[in-house]
Amino acid sequence: MVTFAPQSLSLHQTESTLALGRWLGERLTAGTVLLLQGDLGSGKTTLAKGLGQGLGITEDIDSPTFTLISEYLGGRLPFYHVDLYRLEGKAVDNLYLETYWDGLEFPPGIVAIEWAERLRHLPPAPLRVALTHRDGGRHVVLAPADVTQATLLETLTPDALLVDEV
Ligand SMILES: Nc1ncnc2c1ncn2[C@@H]1O[C@H](COP(=O)(O)OP(=O)(O)OP(=O)(O)O)[C@@H](O)[C@H]1O
Ligand SMILES: [Mg+2]
């Protein structure tokens, strides 16, 4: 199996996490599934908000903790935002999330799954995004699963996420 080098970055403040999401949202190709992993409050929803901004979605993106899945169709690509925090086991299977990436029911877009650790069946070639708390900010490791993702992530430098320090 071919593996691709992961990319690590420090995210010093909320605006940096948003900037990473925006950078990805502007560039990811249709059908990309992001597995957002990380503890409570590690920045998964913040990253999803940035993804929405990068996709050109003007609606506010909230945590779908109770709705489980939110669909936003107003951007460059459809954006499907999933939060598995309240679910486990068979209840996760019963969401039939594969309908968001198999192209049979929904038009292909970007899928972002919070608490992706709870998935029992992984999508093909997911982009793993692991967030951790570090020094008051966050650290992120992005692990590409195919050559398209790897090539894109090679162009992601800390400069791309420069924000005014507050
Ligand atoms: N890089 C960062 N540095 C400091 N704070 C951040 C950073 N990124 C996000 N935050 C802050 O962390 C808090 C939690 O963020 P967020 O809700 O995105 O986390 P989450 O992982 O979705 O949480 P949950 O596990 O509850 O779903 C927010 O107040 C957000 O502003
Ligand atoms: Mg969240």
Domain boundaries, the chain: 7-154
Of 8, 40, 42, the one to substitute when testing ligand 1's pocket (max ligand atoms within 8 A of C-beta) is: 42
Q: How far apart are CA 123 and CA 8, in angstroms?
A: 22
Judged on CB neighbours under 10 Å (0-12, 13-18, 19+), 32 is: buried
pTM, 2 dp: 0.95
pLDDT for res 166: 58
Q: State the CATH architecture for 7-154.
A: 3-Layer(aba) Sandwich (3.40)
Q: Write the CB contacts of 6 (distance below 8 Å, at least 6 apart in sequence).
A: 141, 142, 143, 144
CA 47 distance to own-chain centroid: 6
Q: Which ligand neighbours the alpha carbon of 134 most closely? A: 1
Q: How far apart are CA 31 and CA 64, in angstroms?
A: 20
pLDDT in tens, 97-128: 999 998 889 999 999 999 999 999 899 999 99
